[in-house]
Amino acid sequence: GIAYVTAKAGIPVVLLDRDMDSAQKGKAHSDSLVSDQVKKGRAKPEEKDKLLSLITPTADYADLAGCDLVVEAVFEDSAVKKNATEQAEAVLKSSAIFASNTSTIPITGLAKNSARPKNFIGIHFFSPVDKMMLVEIILGKKTGDKALATAIDFVRAIKKTPIVVNDTRGFYVNRCVLRYMSEAYKMLIEGVPAPMIENAATAAGMPVGPLALTDETAIDLAQKIMKQTIRDLGDKAVDPRQMALINTMVDDHGRFGRKNGKGFYDYPAKPAKKKLWPGLKDLYPQLDAEKVDYEELQQRLLVTVALEAARVMEEGIVTDPREADVGSILAFGFAPYTGGALSYIDGIGAKQFVKIAKGLQKKYGAEFKTPKLLLDMAEKGETFYERFDPYAKGDVKQAA
């Protein structure tokens, strides 16, 4: 996907994979995407030829020697990423920028594997890369200005919207997305029927339900992220009931998500539509649908995400409320009618929002704990756009 959008922008790409067969498969993915565009009349055959001529598949790190920017996109395992970084840097010119497309592992930690941490940065794409407009650029503690400028230029060249975030586990967007998915797992474990969870999400304004979203990103990836988090932060970092649910799906039932045709949904051959897997109702004793507060389900899904966005502002991970709002809508479609995750809180009012969150915390636990920042804003009657005024000091910089 990353190779495709880069070549589409006219930039030559070296597509490196563990063996030539995998690299050729990677190029074939670009071929199928551009062939689809030609079929729909959105691209000319000669544009397809030009795009594909810009992608050079290889299994040899030496072919990276002339590259100005490398984007590492191996799977979420620190050891595998360490190996890729060391092998690439052994052949790269000293001015080259190395970017990791990690979705959750902190960049500062990964940069320790680099001989030149000032040239090391995070460029986090969302899948499917050809459709998603947002890219997170993540600054490690030692990331230099040149690396940041190169990353922003690259993201703009491939016609995507960059937001710049400071380093943390999960950065900004994934921290919010993981809260959204995690709340749905909690609902499943409570016995809420799966169709109610998905319908509540879309009724709340989300374009995709949390279970469908997990399928898109892959359930085994969720498992890898949870396991890496436990390795890094200890057992208490992940809810054992949620870990058990994901392990059951992946290890006992072989359900990895859309990619193998079975996840929380079943994916029959087209034109048939996906359907929720009937086996979900056998995993936990089911609540009677009449007894489930449907409006509260909607509220839980939005409030848990908005609280995480507020925590990210409190920690200084994101410093401009516009980037937090734009990021939440472009990356995972946070109820666009609200204006974004922080505008959702501003629209309700901090005082009322805190009251709602405290009620949910009593019933559903610590995930709904209100950060100090919000308590302070509620007391002062402030909004995010007043507290973090992006237009103060005569700053009229364009929104992302």
Catalytically annotated residues: 124
Q: Which two tokens stand for residue 324?
A: 């937090």
| Strands 55-58 vs 13-16: parallel, antiparallel or unpaired | parallel
Backbone angles phi, psi at 221, to 5 degrees: -70, -40
> What's the number of CA atoms in the CB half-sphere (13 Å) around residue 121?
29
Nearest partner of 331 among 157, 5, 103, 40, judged by Cα: 103
CA distance 32 to 29: 5
Backbone angles phi, psi at 208, to 5 degrees: -135, 135
CA distance 231 to 215: 24
